[in-house]
Amino acid sequence: MRKHFVIYALPAVLLLNVITGCKENEDDSTTTPDFSTSITTVLSNTTSANTTCGSATGLAKVVCLAESFKSTLDATQLSAVQLTYSKANAQRWSNLPEGLYRNRVGLDLASLDETQLAAFRDMMVAVLTLNTSNEGYDEMLGNLVADDYLNTAGGGSTYGAGNYYLAFLGIPSVTGLWELQFGGHHYTFANTYNNGTIAGVTPSFRAIEPMDAVSANNKNYQPMEQERQAFAAMLGALSSAEQTTAKLSSSFNDVLLGPGKDAQFPTTKQGLQVGSLSADKKTLVLNAIQLYTNDLDSETATAFLNKYTSELDNTYIAFAGSTAVTSENDYIRIDGPSVWIEFSYQGGIVIRGTPHPHSVWRDRTSDYGGQ
């Protein structure tokens, strides 16, 4: 029987020093406690009061909602969230919690009042799919809920929804170059726009701890379970010979191309070529891919899924560990001419004794909008 975690029922009992495996950019200074379920409470109500941007569509609507959000900020907040576009700023993301990575750019959710949070929500609803359980906006919200859970379960104030940051790199517009960046521990969203079109939607990092369901605001969240099931179905459908070809000789305890690993795609593809599979098995590969692309608004999702579908026969799948995708060090990779997806089960950090997944979606040609 699966465990089920409810945020408000759990005490804070442990310290950050359980994070013995995360040494990159370690910072021993203390964090300001800012845990509050009120952030996800506000974000869970998706009814918008915005009357300014209702008639806008596509990128014009995203820009309108970005400007509406900015109009709610004071001068200090505005200077924090509105930055100049640079590749260096775009690369400032991490899967580490706040206490171990203090290099994020932008404005943290803990500093926003209810009106500002609602305006932030309106904008994110425009760039993510809505009303699909544990996907798109719901997946993002579930990630914040899970981080709040880690706060109460012993991780302390370095975890929690308040430690997630929003930044505009470049002025939001329907003509210029800019990026909408949002992220924190276990979630990174990075849409890059250039000359009025979406130029890139990656790097996109997703992870979750605990893997089991977490509840908040009268709703259950298990944001990565559908991805895990899709990978298990994809691998389980392969014949023994196909699994042998797909299996990697190395073992993995994390993704290869996480933060700080930009443009380090392997030059040689490994595993099983999807073009050699039957139609039903190709569909299972595509099912796994679209759990990433379909997080985005429908127009953007369609564009990227069409590209990856057209390249499917020249895409490779590979794995290490078991095909059930339930154990520490289970690892899956999808590597195409453009798409790169990794899913890696690693040991628990705050919740010891149970694995949790890290996953990254990159694009060989359009990471950071091709910049």
User: Rounded to an integer, what distance in angstroms lies between the CA atom of residue 213 and that of residue 110?
Assistant: 24
User: Rounded to an integer, what distance in angstroms lies between the CA atom of residue 319 and that of residue 216?
Assistant: 34
Give the pLDDT of residue 37.
57
Q: How does DSSP classify residue 368?
A: G
User: Rounded to an integer, what distance in angstroms lies between the CA atom of residue 201 and that of residue 224?
Assistant: 19
* Residue spans of the chain under pLDDT 50: 1-3, 7-36
Contact 108, 76 (CB under 8 A): no
Q: Where are the alpha helices (DSSP H) in the chain?
A: 38-44, 58-71, 75-81, 87-90, 114-127, 136-150, 225-236, 240-246, 279-293, 298-310
Give the pLDDT of residue 211.
94
Q: At what angle do helices 136-150 and 114-127 cross, to 10 degrees?
A: 130
Length, in residues, of the chain: 371
Residue 201 lies in a domain: yes
| Residue carrying the six token digits 């505005």 | 78
Look at residue 197 and give its three-state secondary structure: strand
> Phi/psi at 83 (nearest 5 deg)?
-120, 165
Tokens of 195: 């000359």
Residue 56 lies in a domain: yes
Q: Cβ of 50: how many Cβ atoms within 10 Å?
A: 16
Residue 20 lies in a domain: no
How many folded domains does the chain comprise?
Answer: 1
Longest dimension (CA), the chain: 62
Residue 4 lies in a domain: no
- For the stretch 97-121, pLDDT in tens is 999 999 999 999 999 999 999 999 9
Give the pLDDT of residue 80.
98
Per the structure, the complete domain to which residue 250 belongs is given by 38-259+266-369
Contact 178, 193 (CB under 8 A): yes
Between strands 165-169 and 82-83, the pairing is: parallel
Is 260 exposed, middle or buried, given 0-12, 13-18 or 19+ CB atoms closer than 10 A?
A: exposed
> Residue 157 forms beta bridges with which residues?
none
User: Rounded to an integer, what distance in angstroms lies between the CA atom of residue 90 and that of residue 113?
Assistant: 26
Residue 1 lies in a domain: no
Residue 5 lies in a domain: no
Give the pLDDT of residue 206.
96
Contact 199, 193 (CB under 8 A): yes
> Phi/psi at 165 (nearest 5 deg)?
-120, 145
Residue 10 lies in a domain: no
Contact 246, 315 (CB under 8 A): no
Q: How does DSSP classify residue 54?
A: T
Residue 11 lies in a domain: no
Q: Count Cβ neighbours within 10 Å for each residue of 113-131 and write b for 16 or more, e otherwise.
A: eeebbbbbbbbbbbbbbee
Look at residue 275 and give its three-state secondary structure: helix
Give the pLDDT of residue 91.
98
Tokens of 177: 């170059």
Give the pLDDT of residue 200.
98
